[in-house]
Structure 1
Amino acid sequence: MGFFDGYNVSSSGMSAQRTRINVVSANIANAKTTHTAEGGPYKKQQVVFQDILLANSNQKANSNDVEATNDKNSDIALRGVGVKSIIQSDAKPVLRYDPTHPDANPEGYVAYPDINPVIEMVDLIEAMRSYEANVSAFNTHKAIDSKTLDILNA
């Protein structure tokens, strides 16, 4: 394990959770969006994470050595977490009767996104707590390195 590996893992976790916070926030903000540029209601999005690994644990991390995999039997070292993709939900929209709405169909129903704000808030809190845990790990690693340097300089 290298000197900066702990920092790299924590900062990659913070970056991934920041992306998740942004996506969940967009879901909450668009929970009532009935018309998008693509047409139809907004579609809920979710973040898919992946582990970022180093092909040979004895080598330094170069752009050519980093690969992503979920294979637990491979002989590679963990480098952090990344965002694999942001996927759109394929859930059907929720139809509500509102004939005065500008996006109502001929029968008077409006298609709303299938987004539950309570579930989205729980996801947001979970992402925030994960971000905070990565900040705490980063600060702990920094404190350990600082104490080590103090001991070496004494």
Structure 2
Amino acid sequence: MGFFDGYDVATSGMSAQRTRINIVSANIANAQTTHTADGGPYKKQDVVFEEVLMHKSKEANNDDFIEESQKDINDAKLRGVGVKSIVQNDAEPIMRYEPAHPDANKDGYVAYPNINPVIEMVNLIEAQRSYEANIASFNTNKSIDTKTLDILKG
């Protein structure tokens, strides 16, 4: 394991959660948007994460003398998290009878996005907590490295 591996994993998690926070914030902001450039109501978006290979670890030089369990550890690759895609939710819009609304159809119904602000707030809080967990991991790694350097100096 390299000196910066812990930092790399934590920053990949922070980056992914930042994207999630931005998408959830857009969902909340557009929960009442009835008309977009594409026509129709805003469509909720979701973030799909994936495991990403950060970089390969160094290979062991002599496989004959390595125990099988130790070999698995040496062959392990550093993994982080990334954003695989941002997908649109195809849920049907919520129809409300508002004949005076400019986006009302001929029957007087307006199509609103199928976004529950309470669920979106829970998603936002979860993303925030995950971001904070990655910050804590980063700071713990920094503290360990600082103490290690202090020991080596002394």
TM over 0.5, yes or no? Answer: yes
Task: Report what 2:135 is aligned to.
Answer: 135
Q: Tell me the TM-score normalized by structure 1.
A: 0.87
Say whether residues 1:12 and 2:12 are aligned partners: yes
> SS of the counterpart of 1:51?
strand
> SS of the counterpart of 2:53?
strand
Q: In terms of Rg, which structure is larger?
A: 2
1:136 partner amino acid: A
Which aligned pairs between 1:17-96 and structure 2 lie closer than 5 A?
17-54=17-54, 56-58=56-58, 76-96=76-96
How many residues are matched? 139
Higher helix share: 2
Runs of 4+ in 1 over 3 A off after TM superposition: none
C-alpha separation between the residues in 2 aligned to 1:136 and 1:26?
26
Deviations 1:22-68 (A, max 9, x none): 00000000000000000000000000000111574227xxxxxxxxx
C-alpha separation between the residues in 1 aligned to 2:132 and 2:93?
34
Q: Which sections of structure 1, spanning at least 5 residues, go unmatched?
A: 60-74
> SS of the counterpart of 2:87?
strand
Deviations 1:109-140 (A, max 9, x none): 00000000000000000000000000000000
Deviations 1:42-97 (A, max 9, x none): 000000000111574227xxxxxxxxxxxxxxx65133110000000010100000
> SS of the counterpart of 1:99?
coil
C-alpha separation between the residues in 2 aligned to 1:85 and 1:79?
18
Q: CA deviation at 1:7?
A: 0.1
Asked if the contact 1:53/1:76 (under 8 Å) is kept, the reply is no
C-alpha separation between the residues in 1 aligned to 2:55 and 2:128?
31
Q: Percent identity?
A: 73
Task: Report what 2:67 is aligned to.
Answer: none
Q: Which sections of structure 2, spanning at least 5 residues, go unmatched?
A: 60-74
C-alpha separation between the residues in 1 aligned to 2:55 and 2:18?
26
Task: Report what 1:104 is aligned to.
Answer: 104
Task: Report what 1:124 is aligned to.
Answer: 124
Task: Report what 1:149 is aligned to.
Answer: 149
Task: Report what 1:67 is aligned to.
Answer: none
